[in-house]
Amino acid sequence: MSPSTPRGTSITGVRADDLRKTYPGRRGAPTVTALDGLSFAVPDGTVFGLLGPNGAGKSTTVKILTTLSRADSGTATVAGLDVAREPDAVRRAVGYVAQKPVTDPMDTGRENLVLAGRLQGLGRRDARARADELLERFGLTAAADRLVKTYSGGMARKLDVALGIVHRPQVLFLDEPTTGLDPEARAEMWAEIERMTGDERMTVLLTTHYLEEADRLAARVAIVDRGSVVVEGAPSELKDGLHGDTVVVELATAVPAAPSADGAPAPRARLTQVVGEAGLRDVVVDGTQVRGRAESGSAALPGVLAALDGAGIPVASATVARPSLDDVYLRYTGRTYGSADRAGAAARETEEVAA
Amino acid sequence: MTALAPTAAPSVAPSFVTHTRLLTARALRGMMRIPVFVVMQLVQPMIWLLLFGALFRSVVDIPGFGSGFGGSYLEFITPGVVMMTAMFGAAWAGTSFVQDMDRGVMDRFLASPTSRGALVASTMVYQSVVAVVQGVVVVLVAVACGARFPGGAVGMLVVALAVVLLTALFSALSNAFALLTGQQEALIGISQLITLPLTFLSSAVMDTSLSPGWVQTVARYNPFDWAVVAGREALSATPDWGLVWSRLGWLALAAVVMWWLATRAFRALQRSA
C-alpha cells in the first residue's frame, strides 16, 4: 500500500516510506520482523490513527519517527524533516508520549513540566507559565506540587500527555495514550485529546489497539498488521467500503474445529456451511462467536437462526450492526481483531473491544 | 550508513551547560527526597575509615612502610578512604540511567533536544557533589580522631579535585554500561569486578612499595591509584607537585575520554531500540 498523497504536493505532517526493521533473535531464536515495508502519509494538521493489535509494529514505527530507533531501510519524514538525516531538528519539532509512563515519580508534577519545558529550550519564566497553563488545562493544579508517585494512573497519564506538548510541537506522537486506563479516565483522555487537537493546530499520530478510539479520534486510520499497512482511509470510508451489515451470532457453546472420531465432517466446517447457505458472506468463527456479512442483516437473520436451529446448534444471542472497524480489520487480515490482539500479547492485559 | 553527528547543531554549547545544570538539580532533588539514602551515604564512608583505621593500624610499624610519609596509619588511609568512597559511589551512577530507561523518562529525554552529553555530564556532576560532601565527612572524622594533614587548605582543594575527576571517570563508565545493557545487574559487575580489585591494587590501604612488583606495576596504571597518590601527596608536608599534577592530568584525560564514550553509547542504544 503506497501513501495516498503524492510526493511534494504539500507539506506532509508525517510520511513513512517502505520502513523495514528486524530485531535479532535472542539466544538463537529467529530474527523478528517488526516492520515489513510499512508506508503511510499523514496530512498536516490532522489526527491520524495507526490501528493494530499488540505486536503489529505500531510502537516500533513511532520510535523510528521520533528518532529513538533507526529503520534498517526505508525513509521517513516528520514535519518535512528526514528522521535519519536531521534527528536534532526532528527532536525539536515533535512531542512524544510513549506507551509506558514517562514521568519522573520523584519530582512533582510542576517540576516535571518545568524541566521538560526548559530542556525544550523555553526560558525559566516561559517554562513556569506553560507548566501552570497545562496543569490548569489537565485538571492537575491541585496536585501540582505533589510527587508524581502519589498520582493515580489517570492523573499520571494526563501529565504524560502534558509533558509531550509542553513545547507546542508541530507533530505529536501518542503511543497508546489510553491503554491501561479505566473507562472513565479513558473518556476524559479522549475529550482532552479532541480539545487539544482543536485548540493547538498540530499533526497528531495516534497509535491504538482500541478500534473505537481510532474511530472516534482519527480523521484517517491505517490498519497495521504484521509490520505493514493493510488498508488506509477515513474510518467512515473504510466502513462504507464494506457493503451491507454485520451479523453476529453468539452460540451457547463453542463448536470444535477438529473432525470427530466417527469420520463425520468437522462441526465448525459444518457450521460455516450452514450459515453460508443461509445467506451470510465472509463467515468467521472465533470461540462461541460467529460473524458474517449480509446485504441486509435484518432480512438475513431469521433465515440464519432457522438454519442453525435446524442443524441443532443452540444460539445464545444474535445482533445486527452497521460495519465497524472490527469488520474492516477482519476483511483485510482474515482474522477477528480480538483474536489477533490476544495472540499479539498473551501476557498483556487486553480488553475485548465492543464492536 | 550516513555519518550522523547527534550533537552537531550550533546551539549545542549553551544547551549543554544549561541542560547539565537542570539535570544535576533534578538528581540532587531526587536524592534529598530520600533522607534515609542521604544518611546512609554519609555514614558509610565513616565506617570505612574507622574499620580500616582500626584493622590495619599496626601496618605502619612494618619496616619500610610509607618511607618519607611519617604520619599515623589514619593519616595514611584518609585519602585512600575518600577515594574509595568516591569510586564506589560512582560505580553505581548508572543506576539513575537504568531507572530512567525503565520508567520511559529516558525515551522522553531522547526524543527531545536534550543534550546527550549533558545527560552523562549531569550524573558526573551529581555524583561529584555527593562524593565531595562524603570526602569532607571523612576528613572531619579523621581530624576528630587525631589525624593531621600538613598540606592544609591547598591540599584539601587538590583532594577535592581528585575526587571530582575520579568520580567523573567512573560515573561515565557506569553510565556507558547502563546504556549498553539497560540492566542494573551489569552495574554489579563494575562494582565487584572492577572497582574492588582496583582498590586493592593501589596504595589506598597499603603502601605498594611493600607489595609484590607486579602490584606496583599495575598500580602505576590504575586510575584509582592516581587519585589516591595525588591526594596523599597534596596533603603531605612537602608535596611533589610534579607527581600530583601528572596524576591529575591523566585522570582528567581519562574522564573526558570516558564521557565521550558514554555519550557515544546513546547511538548504540538507538540502534538496538
Q: What is the pLDDT of residues A297-321, one digit of tens each?
A: 888 888 888 888 888 888 988 888 8
Neighbours of B153 (CB within 10 A): 8
Instruction: Say how far residue A26 (Cα) sits from the centre of its chain.
Output: 27
A window 78-107, beta carbon within 8 A of B: 84-85, 87-88, 91-92, 94, 96, 98-107
Domain A243-322, CATH among 3.40.50.720, 3.30.70.980, 3.30.230.10, 2.60.120.430 = 3.30.70.980
Residue A20 above 90 pLDDT? yes
**For residue B132, which of B151, B158, B105, B93 has the smallest C-alpha distance?**
B158
- DSSP states along A58-117: HHHHHHHHTTSS--SEEEEEETTEETTT-HHHHHHHEEEE-SS--S-TTSBHHHHHHHHH
Query: Hey, is the C-beta of A67 within 8 angstroms of any chain B C-beta?
Result: yes
Residues of A in contact with B29 (CB under 8 A): 106-107, 111
What's residue B69's pLDDT? 67
The answer as to whether B231 is a domain residue is: yes
CA pair distance B101, B99, nearest whole angstrom: 5
Task: Tell me if B30 and A69 make a contact (CB, 8 A cut-off).
Answer: no
At residue A128, φ and ψ (nearest 5 deg) are -70, -45
Chain A residue closest to B14 (CA)? A121
What is the band of A340 on the pLDDT scale with cuts at 50, 70, 90? confident
Q: Give a yes or no: residue B11 inside a domain.
A: no
Q: Give the N- to C-terminal CA distance of chain A in Å, as an integer.
A: 26
| Sheet containing A12-23: order of strands | A32-43, A12-23, A73-78, A81-82
What pLDDT score does B6 carry?
40
Residue A66 to residue A76: CA distance in whole angstroms = 10
Q: Which of helix, strand or coil describes residue A3?
A: coil
Contact between residue A197 and residue A122 where contact means Cβ atoms under 8 Å apart: no
Strands A315-321 and A81-82: unpaired
Q: Which of B101, B105, B119 to mutate: most A Cβ within 10 Å?
A: B105
Q: Is the pLDDT of residue A345 over 70?
A: no
Pairing of strands A171-175, A203-208: parallel
**Which residues contact residue A23 at a Cβ distance below 8 angstroms, ignoring those fewer than 6 apart?**
A31, A32, A34
- Residue B212 in domain: yes
Residues 87-126 of B with CB under 8 A from A: 100, 103-105, 107-114
- Name the β-bridge partners of A293: A246, A281
Is B268 touching A (CB cutoff 8 A)?
no
Q: What's the domain count of chain B? A: 1
Evaluate whether residue B161 is within a structural domain: yes
Distance from CA of B43 to the nearest CA of A (A): 23
* Residue B158 CA, distance from chain mean position: 14
Nearest C-alpha in B relative to A24: B272
Rounded CA separation A132/A122 (Å): 14
Find the residue in B nearest to A93 (Cα): B112
Domain A12-239 has CATH 3.40.50.300: yes
Which ipTM did the prediction report? 0.86
Residue A167 C-alpha, separation from nearest chain B C-alpha, in angstroms: 10
Distance CA A300, CA A282 (A): 14
Cβ–Cβ under 8 Å, residues A41 and A34: no
CB atoms within 10 A of CB A6: 9
Over its length of 273 residues, how does chain B's per-residue pLDDT go in tens digits? 344 334 334 444 569 999 999 999 999 999 999 999 999 989 988 888 888 888 877 777 777 776 556 678 889 999 999 999 999 999 999 999 999 999 999 999 999 999 999 999 999 999 999 999 999 999 999 999 888 999 999 999 999 999 999 999 999 999 999 999 988 888 888 778 899 999 989 988 888 888 888 988 899 999 999 999 999 999 998 899 999 999 999 999 999 999 999 999 999 888 887
Tens digit of each residue's pLDDT (9 = 90 or more) over B107-160:
999 999 999 999 999 999 999 999 999 999 999 999 998 889 999 999 999 999
Q: Which of A10-24, A334-348, B2-16 has the lowest mean pLDDT?
A: B2-16
Q: How far is CA B70 from CA B60, B65, B83, B226, in A?
A: 9, 9, 21, 21
* Closest CB from B22, B33, B104 relative to A101: B104
| Domain limits for position B126 | 18-25+32-59+70-272
